[in-house]
Structure 1
């Protein structure tokens, strides 16, 4: 039976709507699944397992420590993975828990991998694994991050390792260790940034040369390479100085990008790196972004000690007095 002209037109319109809906669905799914690097507006997980969260549960009601801990526990901050707290047989489960938290918060997993042999050159954060165990540990982390690929994980690899290498006299060893770690961690949806020191440490040319060697070595035999480098980790240099430094370093590299730690640089630096007094939290993560600096993150958790200096407890332990000082302006009134 012949269709009326009106019916034919309606069917044609309906068919167009169906096709358009299918196309739109495909586009949205493809866009949602496409890997994307960090950028302005990036939000990382604020873990309920952070030292600030634990401190908030234990602090006395109405105390300055409680106010500081509650404020810091709510801030998206990278999670540090160490072999002491997250050994080979447990680190995968830790990452899976972080991924669940990230999904619930519509956030990204951001981890600091911090356990290479001879860590911190024997300084306040000395420790780390032997070479064979480090290889196993980073492989376990890489596998767990691949299972969390939907959170587009961000990896900040071994802060201070490259900038300290000339002082420690182990540049070749460090480059090999970091390149192998990058290969173990690399995946299409994982974004890896190696140590980039900070603006008052190595000259940009020297820092770039070290980063370049790690990147090239990590790409050997088809390895994935790095996204870039991270500056100012656990330090206090002003953001403007770090942005300028990141651009200077990146200009000597081929297409690499940067992330800047702004967790504790709100009052700038007084030249001291270990628990200096009078510091403040800096810009929240995701506030920055340009063609070189992907974004800024809180990498060093504010409130954790740098080490047994200036009255602080051992490195990584919660220090209430520092948390109160760092958040004095943020929680005032």
Structure 2
């Protein structure tokens, strides 16, 4: 993907667990009291994941309402009302994991967390970086696990980390360490009694199951709850499902989840093929997050990538992970 998993959010968790529900109120008070809240929880049976009331999309809805722009506010609500992945940052992993999981627990929901801090991340592309070394990464994962505690969480582990071992993007000298770090991360996170872990397995466009199953096994997928596909990418759900099932058959029938956040119109085929994943125009939101997929092998459709956050400074976008309201509006308008 060469950077397409770059939607790591700038997280704003004040005190652990102190996340307040926004009511969408403006200074007009009484005028706005009958308007819909900024976010709402979907029926738990359909979607067990927590909706962050203080996410970028919710803040954008509130801003549009304050300006009297109800039309665009309702468009962005398509994003704000859905649970999206909370990408844990490098500096305060324990506090962030604790804050998100405590807030989710208060709402009787599961937190959806994304861990994206592997050393030599993203092969020097838009989201280059990650932990300084293996020891730093192990300590970071340990803090994330400590922050989760015994609360319910679903973790998407290291988007692209296995894929970039297969596509020759990550230098060979780092391969053994990465396998060891991923396997160790799975084992550490699974010590938490209510944590599900899905090891990322790339997407249908960059590799075939035959190229991925052995690396996934070496990375510890057997100890995980399954794997994730299509994170931050655009392949249709049917294509991703077929890809996931072929891969599942090679890794012991493991279940998987699909990122449907931006796949409503499928992949972009214009422009430079090397960057057609990066802020492509004309895309749309995909299926809403749900645990009711109608397929025994597919545990959930998730919005792992946070719709409206940039893939990188390409096609006029801000740097990776920053909120881009114009792009968010485009995704929402493209949704049928």
- Taking structure 2 as the reference length, the TM-score comes to 0.77
Which residue, 105, 113, 116 being the options, matches 2:115? 113
Matched residue, 2:180? 176
Which residue, 135, 145, 148 being the options, matches 2:148? 145
Matched residue, 2:288? 284
Work out the number of aligned pairs and report it: 278
Which residue, 74, 94, 100 being the options, matches 2:102? 100
The alpha-carbon distance between structure 1 residues 291 and 98, as it changes in their structure 2 partners (threshold 3 A), is same
Taking the aligned partners of 2:207 and 2:243, their CA distance within structure 1 comes to 10
The one-character-per-residue Cα deviations of 1:189-230 (angstroms, maximum 9, x if unpaired) are: 2111111111111111111111111127xx7xxxxx211110
C-alpha contact (below 8 Å) 1:258/1:292 kept by paired residues = yes
Whether 2:90 is the aligned partner of 1:76: answer no
Which structure has the highest helix share of the two? 1
SS at match of 1:161: coil
User: After TM superposition, what 4+ stretches of structure 1 lie above 4 angstroms from structure 2?
Assistant: none
Matched residue, 1:202? 207
Whether 2:164 is the aligned partner of 1:164: answer yes
Q: Give the drift of 1:325.
A: 0.5
C-alpha contact (below 8 Å) 2:50/2:83 kept by paired residues = yes
Q: Give the drift of 1:289.
A: 4.2
C-alpha contact (below 8 Å) 2:159/2:200 kept by paired residues = yes
C-alpha contact (below 8 Å) 1:263/1:299 kept by paired residues = yes
Alignment root-mean-square deviation, CA: 2.0
Q: Give the drift of 1:43.
A: 2.4
Most deviating of 201-210 and 61-70: 61-70
Matched residue, 2:218? 213
Which residue, 251, 254, 260 being the options, matches 2:252? 254
Taking the aligned partners of 1:64 and 1:314, their CA distance within structure 2 comes to 27
SS at match of 1:229: strand
C-alpha contact (below 8 Å) 2:88/2:97 kept by paired residues = no
C-alpha contact (below 8 Å) 2:154/2:196 kept by paired residues = yes
Taking the aligned partners of 2:130 and 2:308, their CA distance within structure 1 comes to 23
Taking the aligned partners of 1:64 and 1:278, their CA distance within structure 2 comes to 19
Q: Give the drift of 1:118.
A: 1.0
Taking the aligned partners of 1:299 and 1:62, their CA distance within structure 2 comes to 28
Larger Rg: 1
Most deviating of 262-271 and 229-238: 262-271
- Taking structure 1 as the reference length, the TM-score comes to 0.78
Matched residue, 1:56? 61
Matched residue, 1:6? none
